[in-house]
Amino acid sequence: MTHLGFERAADAADASHRLGTGPGAQILAGGTGTVDLMRLGVTAPERLVEILDLRAEHAAILFGRAGASIGALATMAEVAAHPAIRARWTAVAEALNQSASPQIRNAATIGGNLLQRTRCAYFRDAASPCNKRRPGTGCSALEGGLTWDLAILGTSPHCIANYPGDLAVALSALDASITVVGADGNWRSVAVEDLHREPGERPDLDTVLGAGDLILAAHLPELHWSRSSYLKVRDRESYAFALVSVAVALRLEEGRIVDLRIVLGGLATKPLRCRAAEEAVRGRSLDLHLAAQAAALCLEGAQVDAERAFKAEQGRRAIARALLAAGGHEKAACRVVFRGGF
């Protein structure tokens, strides 16, 4: 029988202390990801440090001159339903509302959502070789397995698992950051854009965070954007992970795009910002042609095989559609969907 320790942290300092004391500790927030992976035998922590009592101090959604601050223990449902988040940081509410199910959104937290692990079937099957789960054992997907729903961007010869979450994609587009306290008690800020890692030689390292790091809050800078939106394409319209997702934040002046950020989910090993496409669009008036050009740039360097070829085409259309819709060109966006004629 495996021994599992269970501890309840009273506050952030207590949680940091517990995480920094002895090996094998893992944070337990809503538990919707952690318990799932333990049941599957994918992870086997020695101690769970439950942090739900931190809700007293770290679940509030606050607004100030610098923007919004969302406590890491706020639930996905609380953030998605907040009127100011819905009205001003629309992509965040849209991403959360299209995530998981209402039951999961009621239990799952913002910190846990950002750190969810890939849904790659081989990672979740404890019997299959997987470099992310057990470094050096190989990649079952690349070695003759099914690849159809996996990443086509940011991959490495060791791993093509895609990042499954929605929220981090929207937060990256809005230039958000997180506050993290380390096991040593020191606080630091990490841009959400820089939080996740491409697999490279170390697919087992999903993020830049260390073992004892605790996320305390996410910060959305005061609005620089005229509008933001999140488009998710999936197998069914609810309760499914993204095959492709696109978050767009745009600043428009007299019809011209003076600034924008485009971030992809579903297609890549991490929420992926498309700087080349952003450069191509900045300063210009948006039309079908420009959206198509930007979409093609986003997918430059995509690694596709016969199974995943559809994701490149789906990605191209989703990006163009998201850009046009965010720019107020609804009719042109429909043309992309129904005719592919661009």
Residue window 266-305: x/- pattern of binding to ligand FAD, with contact defined by CB under 6 A: ----------------------------------------
Min dist CB 187 to ligand FAD, Å, is 13
Is 146 in contact with 175 (CB distance < 8 Å)?
no
Which residues are CB-contacts of 138 (< 8 A; sequence separation ≥ 6)? 129, 130, 131
Residue 252: count of CB within 10 angstroms of its CB = 18
By CB under 6 A, what part of segment 148-167 binds ligand FAD? 165-167
State which of residues 12, 25, 32, 128 lies at the interface with ligand FAD (CB under 6 A).
32
Residue window 199-218: x/- pattern of binding to ligand FAD, with contact defined by CB under 6 A: ---------------xx---
Angle between helices 309-326 and 288-298 (to 10 degrees): 140
Is 85 in contact with 61 (CB distance < 8 Å)?
yes
H-helix or E-strand containing 314? helix 309-326
Give 52's DSSP letter.
G
Q: Which of 152, 159, 171 is nearest to 314 (CA)?
A: 152
Cβ proximity to ligand FAD: between 77 and 281 the closer is 77
**CA gap 200, 157 in Å, rounded:** 8
Cβ proximity to ligand FAD: between 39 and 339 the closer is 39
Q: What are phi and psi of 7, to 5 degrees?
A: -125, 150
Residues touching ligand FAD: how many (CB under 6 A)?
Answer: 28
Name the one residue in this structure whose structure tokens are 């080349």: 276
Task: Output the CA angle 176-180-51, nearest 5 degrees.
Answer: 115
By CB under 6 A, what part of segment 219-248 binds ligand FAD? 241
Min dist CB 66 to ligand FAD, Å, is 21
Cβ proximity to ligand FAD: between 100 and 277 the closer is 100
Say whether residue 7 binds ligand FAD (CB under 6 A). no
State which of residues 9, 25, 27, 220 lies at the interface with ligand FAD (CB under 6 A).
27
Say whether residue 29 binds ligand FAD (CB under 6 A). yes
Name the residue whose CB lies closest to ligand FAD. Answer: 112
Tell me how far the alpha carbon of residue 340 is from its chain's centroid.
27
Say whether residue 72 binds ligand FAD (CB under 6 A). yes
15: tokens are 């949680």
DSSP string, 102-122: HHHHHH-BHHHHHTPPP--TT
Cβ proximity to ligand FAD: between 113 and 162 the closer is 113
Say whether residue 36 binds ligand FAD (CB under 6 A). yes
Say whether residue 118 binds ligand FAD (CB under 6 A). no
The residues that touch ligand FAD, with contacts defined as CB under 6 A, are: 26-34, 36, 72, 76, 99-100, 104, 108-109, 111-113, 115-116, 165-167, 214-215, 241
